[in-house]
Amino acid sequence: MGEHTRTSPGREDRGQVTIEFLGMTPLIILTLVLMWQFVLVGYTFTLAGNAADEAVHAAAQASPGEREAACEQQGLDKLSNAWRGNATVHCTTANGYVRSAVSLEVPVLFPGSITFPFTVHGNAGAVEEATR
């Protein structure tokens, strides 16, 4: 009778894990890229809200003639160069209430590179503080 050699368990699958991993690598990379992009979107929302808060605080403390300049300067001051380039900051005052609106563009993968064609908005409001 012919002798039949027995292989250890799993020996027939040798290399299959490597092939499956190589097949899944593009999907893993795509998932990581999408997760990073979602982090950038969330961070842009956070930056827009924080810049709006800082802008309205500065505008509420400034004298009426300096309000818009103080608003824009303080709103942009808290942004890094990557987000500051296309940012807009505006403040309005009505009935003793100051409102700020900040618009930022979301970068694609790397801050400072190309941006998505939509903007993220941050808004804040505060009561005017008495000026001396």
Decide: 78 and 109 in contact? Cβ < 8 Å: no
Average the pLDDT over 48-60 and give the result: 89
Flag whether pLDDT at 2 surpasses 60: no
Residue 77: per-residue pLDDT = 86
Query: Which residue is associated with the tokens 């807009």?
Result: 88
Structure tokens at 106: 């979301």
73: left (phi over 0), alpha (psi -120 to 50) or beta: alpha
Distances (CA, A) of 18 to 8, 21, 22, 23, 29: 19, 5, 6, 9, 16
Query: Which residue is associated with the tokens 């004298």?
Result: 63
Flag whether pLDDT at 12 surpasses 80: no
CA separation for the pair 62, 108 (Å, rounded): 36
Flag whether pLDDT at 8 surpasses 70: no
Amino acid at 119: T
| pLDDT tens track for 68-96 | 888 888 888 878 887 778 888 888 888 88
Decide: 62 and 12 in contact? Cβ < 8 Å: no
How does DSSP assign 61-88, residue by residue? HS-GGGHHHHHHHHHHHTS-HHHHTT-E
CA separation for the pair 116, 132 (Å, rounded): 44
pTM score: 0.74
